Structure 1
């Protein structure tokens, strides 16, 4: 068993995460939304013009275009049609059964939420700043399963991760869903980490103990 000392230093919620949409995306989407001579638009103006172009389309139609652009390798035409309509009434980025799609659906939903001034439901991401000290030395920030198991040591039993995956957590068995529950882990400095996930999975009220210790038997 390896002991981990954890301090949750801050937890914030945001309605947008950087670096998902690129300048190339904006150019491609301008063309998909029939903006004339899209290639002549300067990079710094593409997002502004894209929002103008989107406003000429019905919300569900815009949703379908964005879904097809980003997720046509994972969703078929019928699924895209269904999701594009459901996004207007449900938080699909939290409720969709395939959790590997939660992160891209969050980015698509929030783009539409802002483009249509709130016609789509708002969704939030959680960013956790924490210090994690391992008795065995340095932690690998790519090991999302270990990080998730560590963090759940300080979460309330009401937390949805602990309720849905109680058996895997209690028995310390494989939890591959961790790769999709935790969107990003950044090693900021030594034992300092920034963990990004959906507010659906972890929110501020879930943090029962900002300082705690937990023991986990590391998997080979």
Structure 2
């Protein structure tokens, strides 16, 4: 039977991560959280909610956390795909379900979420400009006409996952991942996702400043 693993990078998310995991596990029971050197009780709360927790002794960044989660999921011989999912509550499980279904039914190697394919996600003008610029730069450098190159919600088939190796630890990892998808000539598509921005998620890295940091990492990775 197909088995999906959900990989959730986690850094000081103790106030929200349990509810995120509980919601995810209603549909996807196999969840691995990578605790990236948290200084709070994130790991304990994630374990109590039913996730497997793999710990980094120090904070290495989201790229490193994803690679650790990928490596863990690939240890399961029954794993058929991985979903990457943020710990701050901004992603919707229903979108992840639709992406996994599309991945399997369409024979894709990867399905990438996009907040710009429908009108559900409300993005400020400046943030939209920065993210669109990042997507434009990705199109120039990889030939992939993505509308949203830095969406953290993805569904990745095992066969592609086995060939991916993320070396950029921080925000440039998203661009590095797209680069590898292009180099490997993977079959990809996008899926409309609803990103819910809350005061909490903004404080955890969804601010305009973080979008600017994405561009800086992209240009100087």
TM-score (norm 2): 0.28
TM-score (norm 1): 0.28
Structure with the bigger RCO (C-alpha within 8 Å, sep 6+) is 1
